[in-house]
């Protein structure tokens, strides 16, 4: 059972999501501009759109690896 109960509510439904542990550092953002967005005030980031092709998947994976506190997850529902 994936531990995704800490998902930020704004995440698009699907495999990738960002948890409420996000501290808004913004390090992930440049890696996946088409898929990651920030809340008003940029205090939290979330998956705005699930990747639609392999190129976007690779970008989100890079963002996932760049997150210093590992709050980007890939164990949500299948896309
Ligand atoms: S890198 Fe991680 S902590 Fe920083 S904004 Fe992105 S998801 Fe949040």
**Could you tell me the residue ranges of all domains in the chain?**
17-73
Which residues line ligand 1 at a C-beta cut-off of 6 Å?
18, 22-28, 45, 67, 69, 71-72
- Residue range 21-51, pLDDT digits in tens: 999 999 999 999 999 999 999 999 999 999 9
Nearest CA owner, ligand 1 atom 3? 22
* Residue matched to tokens 């898929």: 35
CA-closest candidate to residue 68, choices 38, 52, 45, 47: 45
Residue identifier of the C-alpha nearest atom 7 of ligand 1: 22
CATH class of 17-73: alpha beta
* Residue 63: pLDDT band with limits 50, 70, 90: very high
Q: Is 64 helix (H, G, I), strand (E, B) or coil?
A: helix
pLDDT tens across 5-26, in order?
799 999 999 999 999 999 999 9
């Amino acid at each position: 059972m994936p531990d995704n109960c800490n998902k930020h509510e704004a995440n698009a439904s699907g495999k990738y999501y960002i948890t409420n542990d996000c501290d808004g550092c913004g390090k992930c953002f440049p890696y996946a501009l088409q898929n990651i967005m920030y809340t008003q005030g940029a205090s939290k980031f979330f998956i705005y759109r699930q990747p639609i092709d392999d190129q976007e998947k690779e970008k989100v994976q890079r963002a996932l690896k760049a997150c210093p506190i590992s709050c980007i997850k890939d164990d949500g529902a299948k896309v």
